[in-house]
Structure 1
């Protein structure tokens, strides 16, 4: 993905809590589009290989949650975490981490990730097709800044992490004035 390019338009299948639904699973399907997430605001989108995986669960997701207010000071309206996982997995991951600030986007089919040019095979880890680790500052649907881990490839033997860390993204934002 290149700076200045508009993010692809896709529809995401999400599950949202609905108190009007009785029983053990009070959720309903809700379609959200790229426009719902990215239009009219400046956001951070970070994408990772999978929910409940070690680096994603130990560092990246919790650190973005912990640094949320610092990002707001840098004129960020929302922080989204996207993964090629379905809505059920993403909701369970959110509950497991007690998220209240970072919002998770399920890219169950990988359509958004593919259109971003970041879909890779991770068969060597038993994952199938997943997202390469990246982050972006997106302003009104247009990529303003791009962060991508090195080594982009199918079945990469390592899972690099550092360029897309919340600390690195925040440092870069602090070093740049907002127009």
Structure 2
């Protein structure tokens, strides 16, 4: 009963972030499980939230951002952040596997980042723990300019790289 209560509190603690809201500055892990750094956004950024590294839909989703990195840069995007509820060992390996050297793969190992944005949901039936909804935020600094969230987590439609590029 305690784990259900914990998952409920994790998934229902905050409303989803909205256009015009400010993303909080949070500490994140990228290349090391023991090292955190603050997310201080400047310029235009893309933040892609995903349920889990190495899952089939996510393995099909992220390559569009890797392959189109130069097109995003040409549209003024400074950074692309891929956030998944996984540990830094997994996200670092996934980044290498996908050839995502130009992107930031963020390890949200506790789900704190995803929860603070209001995108954490109970995925214990399929993935064993709370995970992230599939979403994309476009920001100018910390201010949210646009949001796309998939109606069904396994689908990649409004959050695909091509869809996001078309709206920039």
Q: What TM-score do you get using the length of structure 2 for normalisation?
A: 0.85
Q: In the TM superposition, what whole-angstrom CA distance separates every residue of 1:73-111 from its partner, at most 9, and x where no partner exists?
A: 111011110001111110011111222212101111111
Q: Give the count of matched residue pairs.
A: 152
- Aligned counterpart in structure 1 of residue 164 of structure 2, from 141, 163, 169: 169
1:55 offset after TM fit, Å?
A: 1.1
CA contact (8 A) 2:150 2:159 kept: yes
Q: What is the CA–CA distance in structure 2 between the aligned matches of 1:13 and 1:103, rounded to whole Å? A: 10
1:150 offset after TM fit, Å?
A: 1.3
Q: Secondary structure at the match of 1:77?
A: strand
Q: Secondary structure at the match of 2:36?
A: strand
Residue 137, structure 1, aligned to residue 122, structure 2: no
Gaps of 5+ in 2: 1-16
Residue 84, structure 1, aligned to residue 85, structure 2: yes
Task: Decide whether aligned partners of structure 1 residues 121 and 32 sit closer, same or farther in structure 2, where only a CA change above 3 A counts.
Answer: same
Higher normalized contact order (CA 8 Å, seq sep 6+, divided by chain length)? 2
Gaps of 5+ in 1: 17-27, 152-157, 174-179
- Aligned counterpart in structure 2 of residue 49 of structure 1, from 48, 51, 60: 51
Task: Please show how residues 17-166 of structure 1 align to structure 2 within 5 Å.
Answer: 29-35=34-40, 38=41, 40-57=42-59, 59-151=60-152, 159-166=154-161
Q: What is the CA–CA distance in structure 1 between the aligned matches of 2:166 and 2:80, rounded to whole Å? A: 16
Q: Secondary structure at the match of 2:34?
A: strand
1:72 offset after TM fit, Å?
A: 0.8
Q: What is the CA–CA distance in structure 2 between the aligned matches of 1:13 and 1:101, rounded to whole Å? A: 16
Q: What TM-score do you get using the length of structure 1 for normalisation?
A: 0.80
RMSD, aligned CA: 1.5
Task: Select the structure of larger CA radius of gyration.
Answer: 1
Q: Secondary structure at the match of 1:29?
A: coil
Map of 2:18 onto structure 1? 2
Task: Decide whether aligned partners of structure 1 residues 9 and 92 sit closer, same or farther in structure 2, where only a CA change above 3 A counts.
Answer: same
